[in-house]
Structure 1
């Protein structure tokens, strides 16, 4: 079939022509004219210019990142690269739009009219990936659920773009408007429900993205106290989410006064069933505001002990020396006693004990033990160690060597072990006897041990000097 007969076939069905057939007819017209070549050249030129610009921008940012001291982290580099990938389709769409505006004065631009939405949809998909990973993949870990969410988002964007290009979107919208769902005394169309859901979802994602960006920016402000930064971050994110919900409800035409009923119901539920949650929530803000705890403090509360790694609105995370994380409700930190090893003074006192024989000259051994302890890494030099005689034990003299450390967040087990090893080496080098219990079992009347009158005694005493 020739091009003219093909066109006549479509024109014969002009009364029943659909937007898709209009699109095909326009393409047939363009292919019969040299205009298609000019449009193809414009598309290629716009793609090339965008690619060259983005490549130069990537090289400039890479040089600046290498020149920064300390070097930029891998997470920041990955985030920057993901954002740069959005610029290529965005710049292409802008250049195509400008070209379409001037080229439309001289010829038809049907091909450009399709290329622009395609580039826009590509930019929207990449921007959606960037935002979603910025929110839900903070440390570069992409879960299967995240991948599934990205695939669903991609399908929705491309499906909507296909409906827009083919001109079927108005018909689909009219069809959804015709389907009415009864909600109590009112009737709402499916189109209004979908519009409300999409508005809420989009604004919520944007609010969470803005909250994440605000969190990162506040955490880099070293001039503010860490607790104040956390408070501002939490409150900023909560305000952004609340504003996004209210704006999205207003956009879809929902009267905000109806939320007063929900507020009353929420207050009743809060009074009866959510007391603990509300108490933990308020306690979290109190902890952050009064600065009784900060991230990095080493605390002990009840049976939990460790370094504070997170202070959330409901709970606080403690990282123990054994690597186990404990989730402590904030109410426990407010209503109970808390031992904070680094609240106003990070210096804490530790001790090691050892027993020596009664024939040991403690006036000689004390300086040796203090010097050996002072040479151990992490032991404070500003507050030197001190050795004391604690008691006269059953087996020997009980000595205690006390010392200070200024970094309790690094744990105490290793430094105690190093101090004990230094003490032991010193005692061995100076041939100091360390007594230990020795048990001696005596059987009276060994020859008649099987007789009923046989008895046994056990004595305990210090071991003799070898």
Structure 2
């Protein structure tokens, strides 16, 4: 190994140590200066005023928070985002009151006395206001881990900015680094990447949510295209935010091209089913074969589509079960879509009556019974009809056909209601419903004795 290569890690370690000592010395000087300032009469008074204002804000916050909570409970018609904003305000009432009180005191003291006599209060007011703004702004971040990281990182950075030690902190974080050849990753780069990517992904999340709501509220777009548009907007916004964030940090994206290609080949072999479901989901959205709200049958599963996901379709059955069916199954299997082109569904009921009943009267009674059920259509070419299908062993067989236009309401229940109406109508009109009867004899039972009729003797 060359002597120059041996001295480089030692020089980097010495530089990091020097930066750390310089930063620690600066913090010690600030702490000593702050302790000295607090010992001064007016600064001690300002610290006492700030503590008293905090206690006053805590005392006022209790009744105000209770009244505000009762007021929020009465807002029943508010949208969800407004209720969430109200709950965030409810949790921060004490901080809001403290910021208002301390800024009022700072403004009054700046007008009534020397500026130096309110300098400490001004620093506390700036820190409190900055922390409050950060707390509200980071509520937009959905991931709890990312939200806490951005929140505390922003608080620390703002505190360093107000105290005037950002240059020393930046130099210290940049000195703590790991080098891999020409690649140098410092702690400052990691912190900067986390903050910038967090901000960019949060903006992408907010914009994608607004865009998705706008797309779903447009009645001119079909439900399947609404889902496709929302998914495409999310992919474009989050992907753009990620790459813009990397570019803003200073990472060269050209080196990621070869790496992404290798990763893509590996994922293609290892995640075939996942990729197949993703592609199948895109095909389903493009060909509009199914959409949210459609009633489908797939094997033994019958229900309506609740949501179209990237990997699966959510189907809710009449008994409340929710099946997550992979998109590939909907592409490769036979699916019955009861409401693909329209929502009209024809149902057939079979029954039989005795040979002693007039078939013309039976057909008329059956049609009237079907019409009496609320969900059965009664107009146009979709009126109920009844036909004879054959002469059975013990009954004349019929089929009753009727239409409905709300398959989401269920099929078994409407069949049951029509059967019940048929039963009531046949009971009222005296129409018999025959059923097979069998005579069972035991092998050891004696044969019945036949008695000859009178007059046949001899």
Please give the range of the TM-score, normalised by the shorter of the 2 chains. Answer: 0.7 to 0.9
Contact (CA 8 Å) 2:46, 2:121: kept in 1 or not?
no
TM-score by length of 1: 0.73
Equivalent of residue 127 in structure 1, options 118, 132, 137? 137
Contact (CA 8 Å) 1:125, 1:153: kept in 2 or not?
no
Query: What displacement does 1:443 show?
Result: 2.5
Structure 1 partner of 2:84? 79
Note if 1:19 corresponds to 2:16. no
3-state SS of the aligned residue for 1:391? strand
3-state SS of the aligned residue for 2:437? strand
Q: How does 1:430-441 map to 2 (within 5 A)?
A: 430-441=429-440
Structure 2 partner of 1:425? 424
Structure 2 partner of 1:452? none
**Do the aligned partners of residues 39 and 197 (structure 1) sit closer, same or farther apart at CA in structure 2, a change above 3 Å counting?**
closer
In the alignment, the residues of structure 1 paired with residue 188 and residue 316 of structure 2 have an alpha-carbon distance, to the nearest angstrom, of 50
In the alignment, the residues of structure 1 paired with residue 370 and residue 49 of structure 2 have an alpha-carbon distance, to the nearest angstrom, of 84
Query: What displacement does 1:182 show?
Result: 3.6
Q: How does 1:32-431 map to 2 (within 5 A)?
A: 71-73=77-79, 75-82=80-87, 107-108=115-116, 109-128=119-138, 130-132=139-141, 135=142, 172-183=169-180, 186-382=183-379, 383-431=382-430
In the alignment, the residues of structure 2 paired with residue 94 and residue 238 of structure 1 have an alpha-carbon distance, to the nearest angstrom, of 42
In the alignment, the residues of structure 2 paired with residue 304 and residue 93 of structure 1 have an alpha-carbon distance, to the nearest angstrom, of 59
Q: Structure 1 residues 203-212 or 379-388, which shifts more? A: 203-212
Contiguous gaps of at least 5 residues in structure 1: 1-13, 48-56, 137-145, 449-466
Contact (CA 8 Å) 2:134, 2:151: kept in 1 or not?
no
**Do the aligned partners of residues 41 and 397 (structure 1) sit closer, same or farther apart at CA in structure 2, a change above 3 Å counting?**
same
Structure 1 partner of 2:442? 443
In the alignment, the residues of structure 1 paired with residue 344 and residue 134 of structure 2 have an alpha-carbon distance, to the nearest angstrom, of 54
- Work out the number of aligned pairs and report it: 415
TM-score by length of 2: 0.74
- 1:388-407 per-position Cα deviation (integer Å, ceiling 9, x unaligned): 11222222122221110001
Contact (CA 8 Å) 1:39, 1:111: kept in 2 or not?
yes
**Do the aligned partners of residues 289 and 30 (structure 1) sit closer, same or farther apart at CA in structure 2, a change above 3 Å counting?**
farther
Q: Structure 1 residues 217-226 or 173-182, which shifts more? A: 173-182
Q: Structure 1 residues 408-417 or 82-91, which shifts more? A: 82-91
Contact (CA 8 Å) 2:346, 2:401: kept in 1 or not?
yes
**Do the aligned partners of residues 149 and 189 (structure 1) sit closer, same or farther apart at CA in structure 2, a change above 3 Å counting?**
closer
Query: What displacement does 1:33 show?
Result: 9.8
3-state SS of the aligned residue for 2:115? coil
Contact (CA 8 Å) 1:284, 1:314: kept in 2 or not?
yes
Query: What displacement does 1:198 show?
Result: 3.4
RMSD: 4.3
In the alignment, the residues of structure 1 paired with residue 191 and residue 347 of structure 2 have an alpha-carbon distance, to the nearest angstrom, of 64
- 1:431-454 per-position Cα deviation (integer Å, ceiling 9, x unaligned): 222122223211344269xxxxxx
In the alignment, the residues of structure 2 paired with residue 17 and residue 190 of structure 1 have an alpha-carbon distance, to the nearest angstrom, of 22
In the alignment, the residues of structure 1 paired with residue 44 and residue 105 of structure 2 have an alpha-carbon distance, to the nearest angstrom, of 18
Contiguous gaps of at least 5 residues in structure 2: 1-24, 59-67, 448-458
Note if 1:31 corresponds to 2:42. yes
**Do the aligned partners of residues 300 and 209 (structure 1) sit closer, same or farther apart at CA in structure 2, a change above 3 Å counting?**
same
Contact (CA 8 Å) 1:114, 1:165: kept in 2 or not?
no
Contact (CA 8 Å) 1:19, 1:167: kept in 2 or not?
no
Query: What displacement does 1:422 show?
Result: 0.8
3-state SS of the aligned residue for 1:358? coil
3-state SS of the aligned residue for 1:409? helix
Query: What displacement does 1:269 show?
Result: 2.2
Query: What displacement does 1:40 show?
Result: 11
In the alignment, the residues of structure 2 paired with residue 380 and residue 346 of structure 1 have an alpha-carbon distance, to the nearest angstrom, of 12
**Do the aligned partners of residues 15 and 386 (structure 1) sit closer, same or farther apart at CA in structure 2, a change above 3 Å counting?**
closer
- 1:111-141 per-position Cα deviation (integer Å, ceiling 9, x unaligned): 122212212212322332x324xx47xxxxx
Contact (CA 8 Å) 1:118, 1:161: kept in 2 or not?
no
3-state SS of the aligned residue for 2:266? helix
- 1:52-88 per-position Cα deviation (integer Å, ceiling 9, x unaligned): xxxxx9999999x88xxxx545x24413524766998
In the alignment, the residues of structure 2 paired with residue 34 and residue 323 of structure 1 have an alpha-carbon distance, to the nearest angstrom, of 66
Q: Structure 1 residues 428-437 or 341-350, which shifts more? A: 428-437
Contact (CA 8 Å) 1:30, 1:110: kept in 2 or not?
no
